Structure 1
Amino acid sequence: MRNKRLIIDIVVLLLVILFLYTAVSKFVDFKGFTYDLNNQPFPNSLTPILRWLVPLTEIGIVLGLIFEKTRLLALYASLILMSLFTIYTALVLFDVFEYVPCSCGGVIKNLTWPQHLIFNLFFVVITLLAIRVNKKNSSNHLLYNQLQ
């Protein structure tokens, strides 16, 4: 039981660091982040929404991960967001888009696209692991409480 709790705590900590770091980096260089969004292969009409939605979503996920009652929901939100980033990265690697600046925050922006893919896949896998462990942990608690 302790090992399961430790796995969840480590994954949550890594996700909190990742999302908090990238969100703050985007706000610190908000002008650069907005510029990068305008150079994405998506319509520029999405930029006013995405420039707020992406970092605020990352901060919302961080807040959800911090609290036990919202942790599982935040883990699912993390999985969805990281999966979207991973799919986008894979599309970049398959040359689906003509041009692709990275609008990631901080030093993550310096990764190559193959490194981005590995980085994103790592977070997808550990998030899936945390969700699975959390579900098993929750069902064990329910069973234990019913037996009492």
Structure 2
Amino acid sequence: MQKKRIFTEIVVVLLVILFLYTGVSKFVDFKGFTYDLNNQPFPNSLTPLLRWLIPITEISIVIALLFEKARLIGLYASLFLMSLFTIYTALVLFHVFEYVPCSCGGVIKNLTWPQHLIFNLFFVVITSLAIRVNKKNLSDHLLYNQLQ
């Protein structure tokens, strides 16, 4: 049980670092992030929404992960967002889009598309495992409390 808790804590720390870093870096270079969004292969009419929604979502995930009661929600939100990013990256690698600048934050922007895919898949896998461990711990805890 202790090893599973440590694993979950490590995953949470990694996700907090990832989403805090990328969310804040998008706000720090808000003009550049907005420019990159306008160069994505989806309609520019989405840019006014996405330029706020993406970094605010990333920072909101961080907040959820920091609080034990909201952690499972934060893990699910992390999995959802990283899955979307992973699907998008796979579509880029399959040349579905004519051109695609990266609108990631900070040094992550310097990764190649294959590196992005591996990076994203890593986070999808560890987040999925943390959710599984967390749900098992939660159900064990609830069962234990019912027996008391």
Partner letter of residue 51 of structure 1? R
Matched residues, number? 148
The CA RMSD measured in Å over matched residues stands at 0.5
**Paired amino acid for 1:125:** V
Q: In structure 2, how many angstroms separate the alpha carbons of the residues matched to 1:65 and 1:41?
A: 31
* TM-score (ref. length: structure 1): 0.99
Mapped to 1, the partners of 2:123 and 2:144 lie a distance apart of 31
> What do residues 9-63 of structure 1 show as CA deviations (whole Å, max 9, x unaligned)?
0000000000000001101110100000000000000000000000000000000
* Aligned mates of 2:46, 2:99 — CA distance in 1: 17
How far apart, CA to CA, are the structure 1 residues paired with 2:24 and 2:144? Answer: 41
Map of 1:30 onto structure 2: 30
1:146 maps to 146
The residue that corresponds to 2:119 in the other structure is 119
Alignment of 1:16-27 (within 5 A): 16-27=16-27
Structure 1: gaps spanning 5 or more residues: none
Q: Which residue in the other structure is 2:96 paired with?
A: 96
Q: Distance in 2 between matches of 1:143 and 1:38?
A: 50
Q: Secondary structure at the match of 1:100?
A: coil
Shift of 1:111: 0.2
